[in-house]
Structure formats: C-alpha cells, structure tokens
Amino acid sequence: MQQTSRAAQREQTKARILAAARQLFGEHGYDRTTIRSIAAAAGSDPGLVMRYFESKENLFAQVATIPADGPIEGDTDRIAELLTAALGSKLADEPAAGLAALRAMFSHPEAAKEVRTAMIGQQRQIAALMPGEDAVLRAGVIGALTIGTVIARHLLQLDGLADASPDEITQLVGPLIDTLVTGTA
C-alpha cells in the first residue's frame, strides 16, 4: 500500500475544503455559511480551514469566482455559437461557484465587485469581436440574458426553465444571442 506524502494530504484536505465551501456558499450564501459548517462538510477541523485560507473572505474569494467561458473567437456566427453553447453548459450543470458568487453579491459588496469585474472583462472581450457602435451594449444584454437565465433556472427554479432541457432553452435563446452578436434586427 502506497502512503500519501504530507504535501499530498494537505492538497487533498484543501480540495475537500474548497469543494465543501463551494457547495455551502452556493446553497446558503456568504452570510449563512460558517467556517464550522464548511469544516464539518469537508470532514476537517475549523482550525485547518483557517490555517489554509486565513479567513472566510479569502476562502470565499477562491471558490466564488465566475469561471470564464473559454476563448471566444471567430466570426460572428462562431461567436454566437460559442456563447449559446456556454449558456447550455451552465444550464446543464449547476455552476456551483458561479451561483455562490451570484447569491453572495446581493449581500456582500466584495462579491458584487468580483462578479462585476469578471462579467465586464468577458463583456469587453466579446464586444471587441462584434460589429457596430453599440457592441458594448449588445454584449451587456447577452451577459444579462445569460445570467438571468441561469439564475431563473438554478436559483429561482422558475416554471418552464427548471423543467426544460438545456437544448430546449438554448433553441429559444440562441436566435436572440445570434441577433445580438450580429447586430441585425
């Protein structure tokens, strides 16, 4: 039987803590999640959580980032296709880290700043690839459409969205994204 090194054990413990924190922040938000509850869910000790992450805010900052959709490049048809596919993947698998950030941004100013920064960065990248003087506005609407759809499906569980397949939703939303990317009405 192979023994695990101390460094590997530390990394495994940190990974368990991050996974537990991601889940609990996503379910309960920043204010209602405690270091003790994270430690218990990770099968760890609250002291270890503090040793590895120093504070609840630092731990939150590590788990509540909005992951980028990946490189967005190509012509407008390809951009629309990539954005629609990214929405579909967020609808198929609940984006725990993103939802933790979204839930917390309503009560925690630092979380709102992180979400805003991530979204503005992606919005600007997409707008730079789109034609027209109103590209920044259209990219912002695409972001709002995406975030609103994800919130409505996963957090609010609105009728229709909660039960529909990701394909059904993207078939409805895809043409809107395409119109916004190309700038054609």
Which two structure tokens, joined as six digits, stand for 109?
Answer: 């100013």
Sign of the dihedral through C-alpha 157, 160, 149, 90 = positive
Task: Give the CA count within 13 Å in the CB-facing half-sphere of 122.
Answer: 23
What is the mean predicted confidence (pLDDT) over 75-82? Answer: 88
103, 64 Cβ separation under 8 angstroms: no
Q: Where along the chain do the CATH 1.10.10.60 domains lie?
A: 6-63
Instruction: Give residue 174's pLDDT.
Output: 94
Instruction: Report the range out of 20-29, 55-64, 137-146, 148-157 with the highest average pLDDT.
Output: 137-146
Burial 33-70 (b: 16+ CB within 10 A, else e): bebeebbebbebeeebbeebbeebeebbebbbbbeebe
Considering the chain, tell me which residue range(s) the CATH 1.10.357 domain(s) occupy.
Answer: 76-182
Question: Is the pLDDT higher at 181 or at 6?
Answer: 181
Average pLDDT over residues 83-91: 88
pLDDT computed for residue 1 by the predictor? 46
Mean pLDDT lowest among 77-81, 90-94, 127-131: 90-94
Chain position carrying tokens 């895809």: 174
pLDDT given at position 70: 63
The DSSP letter of residue 2 is P
Q: What is the pLDDT of residues 132-177, one digit of tens each?
A: 999 999 999 998 998 899 888 888 889 999 899 999 999 999 999 9
DSSP string of 103-123?
HHHTT-HHHHHHHHHHHHHHH
Lookup: tokens for 138: 């259209």
Q: Which residues are CB-neighbours of 33 under 8 A, at least 6 positions away?
A: 21, 24, 25, 56
User: What is the pLDDT averaged over residues 15-31?
Assistant: 83
Residue 154 near residue 94, CB atoms below 8 Å: yes
To the question of pTM greater than 0.75 for the whole model, the response is: no
Residue 66 has pLDDT above 70, yes or no: no
Burial track 99-117 (b if 16+ CB lie within 10 A, e otherwise): bbbbbbbeebeebeebbee
Average pLDDT, the chain: 84
The domain 76-182 is placed in CATH, from the list 1.10.357, 3.10.280, 2.30.30, 3.40.50, at 1.10.357
Write out the two tokens for 94. 């609940």
The pLDDT value recorded for residue 157 is: 87
Q: How confident is the model at residue 19 (pLDDT cuts 50, 70, 90)?
A: confident
Angstrom CA distances, 184 to 132, 136, 141, 157, 181, stand at 10, 15, 14, 32, 8
Bigger pLDDT: 155 or 55? 55
The pLDDT assigned to 10 comes to: 86
| pLDDT of 125 higher than 80 | yes
Return the CATH fold of 6-63.
Arc Repressor Mutant, subunit A (1.10.10)
